[in-house]
């Protein structure tokens, strides 16, 4: 009888041991907390997606000659090789100033698009809303790491656009430029993540 009880206990113990991995796997895995840099990169990626959708919907057969916007951030001096050498505070400050400049340009485009009943207007409004949200999120991060706010440049916007084709060309040029910026900014936020303060 004693031997039977010992065998039963041993069998029960073996069964419990066999079920242990199942219990372990069934327990919920704690979610990794999303940092502000994750939010910034995700928001930028979303903006880039919206930009690409607008470009696809209103694509031109030929490239538009860039000449309308003279105060957009310079992108030719930003390369993938520079990403590893970025410093946190100056880069956040510069990205914030750049985004504010784009915001002015897109708000101008929104106004002229309304006058000409541009078909992309609803998505353009959504894009400006997402841009403002990204600017606010970036500003909060700047305050957290004490990054200075740069003096904003005065945008040089094109004169009155008399024809809808002018609006289409301007929107295409602006969207192409902004797509390049979003791609670079997205990579910059990912590169800056290890350099941002821990415990965000």
Contact 124, 113 (CB under 8 A): yes
Could you tell me the residue range of the domain that residue 176 belongs to? 34-58+85-192
Is 24 within the bounds of a domain? no
Is 141 within the bounds of a domain? yes
Instruction: Write down the pLDDT at residue 14.
Output: 57
Instruction: Provide the terminal-to-terminal Cα distance of the chain, rounded to the nearest Å.
Output: 62
Contact 188, 61 (CB under 8 A): no
Is 197 within the bounds of a domain? no
Is 96 within the bounds of a domain? yes
Is 14 within the bounds of a domain? no
Query: The tokens of 12 are what?
Result: 């029960």
Count of C-beta atoms within a 10 Å radius of residue 68: 19
Count of C-beta atoms within a 10 Å radius of residue 13: 10
Is 187 within the bounds of a domain? yes
Q: What are the DSSP E strand ranges found in 13-154? A: none
Non-local (6+) Cβ contacts of 24 within 8 A are none
Q: DSSP code of 119? A: T
CA 192 vs CA 36, 37, 49, 78: distances in Å:
11, 8, 21, 15
Instruction: Write down the pLDDT at residue 24.
Output: 45
CATH number at residue 171: 1.20.1250.10
Is 75 within the bounds of a domain? no
Three-state DSSP state, 70: coil
Quick one: the chain helix, strand, coil %, rounded to 5? Answer: 70, 0, 30
Count of C-beta atoms within a 10 Å radius of residue 166: 16
CA-to-CA distance for 99 and 132, rounded, in angstroms?
Answer: 9
- Which residue in 105, 99, 91 sits closest to 187, CA to CA? 91
For the chain, 200 residues long, give each residue's pLDDT as a single digit of tens. 444 445 555 555 555 555 555 444 544 544 567 788 999 999 999 999 999 988 887 655 445 555 678 788 888 778 777 888 899 999 999 999 999 999 999 998 888 877 766 666 678 889 999 999 999 999 999 999 999 999 887 887 877 766 777 777 888 889 999 999 999 999 999 999 998 865 44
- Which residue in 103, 184, 91 sits closest to 142, CA to CA? 91
Is 89 within the bounds of a domain? yes
**Number of domains the chain contains:** 1
Instruction: Write down the pLDDT at residue 57.
Output: 77
Instruction: Write down the pLDDT at residue 177.
Output: 93
CA-to-CA distance for 120 and 142, rounded, in angstroms?
Answer: 33
């Amino acid at each position: 009888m004693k031997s039977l009880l010992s065998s039963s206990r041993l069998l029960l113990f073996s069964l419990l041991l066999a079920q242990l991995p199942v219990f372990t796997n069934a327990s919920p895995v704690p979610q990794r907390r999303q940092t502000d840099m994750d939010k910034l990169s995700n928001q930028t990626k979303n903006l880039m997606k919206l930009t690409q959708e607008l470009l696809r919907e209103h694509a031109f057969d030929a490239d538009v000659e860039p000449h309308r916007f003279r105060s957009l951030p310079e992108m030719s001096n930003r390369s993938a090789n520079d990403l590893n050498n970025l410093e946190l505070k100056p880069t956040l400050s510069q990205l914030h100033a750049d985004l504010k400049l784009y915001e002015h340009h897109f708000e101008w485009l929104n106004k002229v698009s309304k006058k000409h009943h541009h078909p992309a207007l609803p998505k353009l409004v959504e894009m400006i809303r997402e841009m403002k949200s990204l600017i606010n999120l970036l500003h909060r991060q700047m305050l957290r790491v004490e990054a200075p706010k740069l003096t904003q440049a005065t945008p040089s916007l094109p004169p009155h656009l008399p024809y809808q084709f002018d609006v289409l060309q301007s929107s295409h040029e602006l969207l192409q430029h902004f797509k390049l910026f979003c791609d670079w900014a997205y990579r910059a936020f990912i590169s800056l993540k290890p350099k941002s303060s821990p415990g965000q």
